[in-house]
Amino acid sequence: MMEVRLSGSGGQGLILAGIILAEAAIADGKEAIQSQSYGPEARGGSSKSEVIISERRIHYPKVAAPDLLLAMTQEALNKYGPDLKEDGLLIVDSTFVRDVPAQYKQVHAVPITQLAKEKCGRELFANIVALGTIAKLTDTVGLPALEQAVLARVPKGTEEMNRLALTTGYQAV
């Protein structure tokens, strides 16, 4: 079983990313549960999306201690980092996260938002870049299932740019 927490600020598309990750896991034949939480500000307030993925039935739907934490902002790392398992994987968006405490053992700093802007032309693709990074660093879901889930959820006319964003994140690590 893998517990994943995607965290950042409202407007970064992390809830959609969590939904896509869960759908990709289901397409890969796994069990998945997705939940979300965000501040009352919606855009700019703290936001998190949690996904539990397992080969077996999931009995408790909440993430207590994630195996993987994606922190898209410094505030998200400060708020949700202490919950990460001791041997958990931490992925930070180095575009916005500058201070990563030494307590974290497995850290991958990737300029997720910067890559989205440079390669795809807009920061709004950062959530999909992040999913590509997660796919490369874990065996949580296969890239084909993730790509299929992304393409099923994104607005019509943005499929190629989202495919590029996914590939960019996958190749970034």
Q: Domain ranges for the chain, please list them.
A: 2-171
Dist. CA 82–CA 66, nearest whole Å: 10
pLDDT digits (tens, 9 = 90+) for 28-67: 999 999 999 866 555 567 899 999 999 999 999 999 999 9
DSSP structure string for 45-74:
SEEEEEEEEESS-----S-SS-SEEEESSH
Q: What is the CATH number of domain 2-171?
A: 3.40.920.10
Regarding pTM above 0.85, the answer is: yes
Amino acid at 42: A
pLDDT digits (tens, 9 = 90+) for 75-114: 999 999 999 999 999 999 999 999 999 999 999 999 999 9
